Structure 1
Amino acid sequence: MMDNCHQSILSDYKPNRNSTEQNETISTMISSTTTDGKTFDLCEQENILTDQLEKCKVKDATHLSERIKRTYQRIDSYIREDRIEEAEQERKYLNELEQTQILHEQVVFQKSNRYQKNTLVENNRSDLKNLRDDLTDMPYCAEKMTMELLVYFHQRLLDEFIFLETSDSVIQKLGELKTQIQNEELFSEEIRTYFDDLNRNIYNEDCSSAVNMLNNILRKIRPLHLQEIQRLIEKMEKTAELIRNKDIVLLIGVTGCGKSTTVQFLAGAKMKETKVAIVPGRFLDHIEMCEPIKNPGLIHITTSPYCRSETRYVMPVTVPLHDIFGPDETGELIFCDTPGFGDTSGPEVDIANSAGVLEALKNCKSVKILALSSYKSSGDRGQGIQKLAQILVKMIDHIEDRLKSIMYAFTNYKLTTDIHAILHDLKNSKVNNDLALRSDKSFVALLTDMINKTEHGAEIINLIGGNPKSLIAKVRSLDGIENPAKVFQFSFSESTQSTISNQIYRYKKNITSAVKRKNLDLLLYNLRNFKILKNLIKQNFIEDSYNDSIRSVNEKIDEY
């Protein structure tokens, strides 16, 4: 008899009429639209959520899951003790909690959705402006025609007034582009496939997919977006002035290792764990600031739960030491957030990052390195740590002589994780069995340094409950790398190096084609861009290729 009663409460519990009406009211709020057509906007839903949290005596919505779990446990305990009335009261409270959690998830999803939509619109506007700027003074060619079509579809996405109003006129433009690509000897089977997909996109009026296909075509005929690199480096040059003749701390790590979040933490910001909805009911964990920004340097430091870099160029944040250690402390530390090296944002960011960071560091007084490794990118055999080590080795000349200037810190690891053991395992199981790695003296020296510096405990950053004092004190004790212009060097990913080679090949082919067709405008355009690339990257193989093209053009001119 009692077992049936227990089952009734835990599984087949039927709330009373008042409870049912109350839940129906909350459910109506959650649905965001009432039966009479009234819509609850996001602000109203947030107000309702606040009221519900207060009613449930829950301070923070992120605590709902734990509160629900504990309530289930109490119900079970009450039933075992035959305290049926208390169990029923707890079950009513459980209903309130569960309804509130659903409402919270909907609010989170709508806020994420709104943010993503706003970001998409901002990106489209930015892309459209850049396209128009890049088209200025560009000669008639396949690249220009592709970009003009991109302008059209970006305008469509932004609902801007446009002159090309029919799909027939767009199809005609597409046919002209295809012919031009063939004339410039750029056509391939892959591009043919893109055109087939593009025709379907246009037929279905799928402007977003059309933009993606046109960008795919553009990457084939112009592997490297030179103007975007210039824009990024120009922004870096502005921030470089902020660190001229300064002692700085440079944060280094792959995309997603938490550099931006760590800068916020080091600047004294209070952090909290939250969730970002990707689809209804599916969330990514994210750590963000939970109070108004006090340090003005943090205004432009943004973070994301996605594995992509939000930082596009060096961002210095000055941290007055009295903010961390108290009023008796003087001085400051300048922490520089950077994009992820070998960044997943593409070769343009990778090149601008390498070239721009190098230029920014040249005029610094000294540089200390805070190298970050994240559990999320570590891999099951320490691949992330190995990648971080390789980035540092490529970036810092004779790194074995600069180890006193480097500190290692670890993000998203459990505080109980034995980092020292992981590093030992990486050396024993991988490095010792790989002749190439074992022969790389700089890499082995760096990995050994990581092992030595974590022997008595690694610096695992606790962003939520931790205090930055200890980490900042250790960073202060590092020796700065002086004369950074002589120490830091370019470090491109293999894929970026491949893209540079493809672009050089494309320039040479375009120059040959322009000479053959006596197209002076196109010839000068490609020679000018080739020269800009040479001056930006300043590597011998690019200069040699450029000089070869100049000689070839001069020989053809002599023939004419």
Structure 2
Amino acid sequence: MPLCTERFLLSLRYLISCKLLGNDAMVDQIIMSSDYRKLEIDEELQCLKERLKLEKISSTKIQHAVETLSIYMKHENWKSSLIILKEILHEIMPLNIYELFRLVKSVDDTANLIKDKKIIFSLGNTGSGKSTTIHFLLGSKMIKTEINGLNHIEPTEIKNVDLKRIVTAPFAKSITRCITPVTVYFKDIGAYGQDSIILCDSPGFGDTNGPEVDIANGIAIVRAIRVCESVKPVLLISYTSIGDRYEGLKDLTYTLARLIQNTKDQIKVFSYIFTKYPKNEKETIHASLETINNTLSDQERSDTNFMDILRDMFEKTKKNACVLDPIKNDPSTILDDLADSTNINHPENVFQFFITEKSKSILDKQVTKYELIIKSATKHSKYSLAILILNRSLLDETILIDEEIKQYRTYFDHANLVEDLSKTHLRNEAIHSCAYIEHLNRKVDNLVNNLQENNINDLSIKLSIDKIKILSEYFDDVNVKYKFISQFVLEKKNA
């Protein structure tokens, strides 16, 4: 990892963790002393402070945290130091990119479990009751219970052994961490459907385990759905998450709108199950949707995907909304209705990668931070040194060093690579790659003019030709000039 704030934060976290665990480090078979480790930590802290200044990361919150960290480290309070480091790291890096990549890499295995299968796929926010609903639909007996003072509907007498992998809990924290398919045989629960179908439990939107998990879940869900033969999507909407002003229901609808392409053509196949509704609220669902529709802003109404989904919910709840009571309801009736619903036969053409609004805001924040770091890095890069090297080598009567030209070429290539980035984000703050070539051409032109005006037997002329020859090996523009000057010298000698 290049020198940056993140690097020193991660390094400090590692070193302090070693101190906390009492682990000695081996270097060339010599055990580091405790004093050596402390010195190493102090040096990294100093580097961190300098890096924060260089990258202009100077918020009051971070400054205070670094001061507190210094005090904790001075008194060797390693446990508190780790807590502060975590806070600083989160402030610097709101989205843990490394963890996100690790999670995304692990989602492919889950997609293979339902490849080329016909499935009923449950979707919904974290805590909407997807796992509980799966248990209910597969015939588990559901009972009311209490866990840590929280009301909970718990599955008992679990008939399907695959359900052992699907855990339910009353807590706000997400339990389901991966897509879990379970095969239900209609005859086992008294349903009339033919043979069997696969029900899929899935991680919830807005996962409470952090934006990294939430974004990875979104990728996992879409990758899994896309490889299925057909999908019957079921959206679970929990009473506890709709919000006092229905903001939760709106957010869920927006998330669904991001998930589906051509919403108007596809939304009709969706089924809606409303969960955790109190008895006195079960008849208010349609009226709630009507209230949302009547209070939408012009901006909200302009989102056609959002409006298509809202209208579909509104139409499908006019006569009878499907409100789940997992203790009293008959699973066979609901499962038959779901089995009879329309399939999406080419899900790869319908579902697209999405991100929830909350995670999107965190991702935007991280991107902004990276943009500022890139600007700072560009601003403090050694481009001026490259010009200095070239000027010194071309103007002085010295031999042009091959390594110096390679370095100049590296700066040119670097500027070339970030050209698109510069146009989009850095505007005029980065040196354009053309500037290097223009500067080089001017210097070479001066050499060429000097060659034409002086005696070709002069030692300085030979030195200049050698310089142009070396440059021609790295830059096409100079190669043209080298061919010209070679021809000129040859003609002058033969004259």
Establish whether TM, by shorter chain, passes 0.5.
yes
Unaligned segments of structure 2, at least 5 residues: 26-32, 384-406, 441-495
Indicate which of 332, 336, 342 corresponds to 1:479.
Answer: 342
Do 1:395 and 1:491's aligned partners in 2 also have CA atoms closer than 8 Å?
yes
Matches within 5 A, 1:544-555: none
What does residue 259 of structure 1 align with? 130
1:219 equivalent to 2:90? Answer yes
Indicate which of 298, 310, 318 corresponds to 2:175.
Answer: 310
What does residue 240 of structure 2 align with? 376
What does residue 235 of structure 1 align with? 106
Matches within 5 A, 1:18-417: 138-152=1-15, 154=17, 159=21, 161-162=23-24, 169=39, 170=41, 173-199=44-70, 202=73, 209-277=80-148, 283-291=149-157, 294-296=160-162, 298-325=163-190, 330-417=194-281
Do 1:504 and 1:545's aligned partners in 2 also have CA atoms closer than 8 Å?
no
Alpha-carbon spacing, 1:427–1:299, altered in 2? closer, same or farther (3 Å): same
Render the CA deviation track for 1:252-284: whole Å, top value 9, x for unaligned.
Answer: 21122112222233233333333333xxxxx22
What does residue 398 of structure 2 align with? none
Matches within 5 A, 1:408-427: 408-419=272-283, 421-427=284-290
Distance in 1 separating the partners of 2:45 and 2:426: 36
Do 2:141 and 2:156's aligned partners in 1 also have CA atoms closer than 8 Å?
yes
Indicate which of 313, 321, 328 corresponds to 1:458.
Answer: 321
Do 2:230 and 2:343's aligned partners in 1 also have CA atoms closer than 8 Å?
yes
Do 1:427 and 1:447's aligned partners in 2 also have CA atoms closer than 8 Å?
no
Do 1:371 and 1:409's aligned partners in 2 also have CA atoms closer than 8 Å?
yes
Q: CA deviation at 1:237?
A: 0.7
Secondary structure of 1:482's partner? coil
Alpha-carbon spacing, 1:395–1:168, altered in 2? closer, same or farther (3 Å): same
Distance in 2 separating the partners of 1:204 and 1:334: 58
Q: CA deviation at 1:308?
A: 2.5
Distance in 2 separating the partners of 1:300 and 1:182: 50
Alpha-carbon spacing, 1:496–1:381, altered in 2? closer, same or farther (3 Å): closer
What does residue 469 of structure 1 align with? 332
**1:461 aligned partner, one-letter code:** L
Say how many residue pairs are matched: 398
Alpha-carbon spacing, 1:556–1:269, altered in 2? closer, same or farther (3 Å): farther
Do 2:290 and 2:314's aligned partners in 1 also have CA atoms closer than 8 Å?
no
Distance in 1 separating the partners of 2:432 and 2:174: 41
* Rg larger for: 2
**1:312 aligned partner, one-letter code:** R
Render the CA deviation track for 1:139-190: whole Å, top value 9, x for unaligned.
Answer: 4432122123333455677x46355857955555433322233234434322
Distance in 2 separating the partners of 1:544 and 1:276: 56
Secondary structure of 1:394's partner? helix
Alpha-carbon spacing, 1:461–1:430, altered in 2? closer, same or farther (3 Å): same
Task: Normalising by structure 2, report the TM-score.
Answer: 0.68
Secondary structure of 1:488's partner? coil
Q: CA deviation at 1:543?
A: 12
Percent of aligned pairs with the same amino acid: 32
Do 2:11 and 2:44's aligned partners in 1 also have CA atoms closer than 8 Å?
no
Q: CA deviation at 1:240?
A: 0.7
Q: CA deviation at 1:329?
A: 6.2
Q: Superposition RMSD on alpha carbons, in Å? A: 3.9
Render the CA deviation track for 1:191-237: whole Å, top value 9, x for unaligned.
Answer: 11222343455578766654443223223333432222222222221
Secondary structure of 2:232's partner? strand
Secondary structure of 2:106's partner? helix
Distance in 1 separating the partners of 2:423 and 2:346: 29
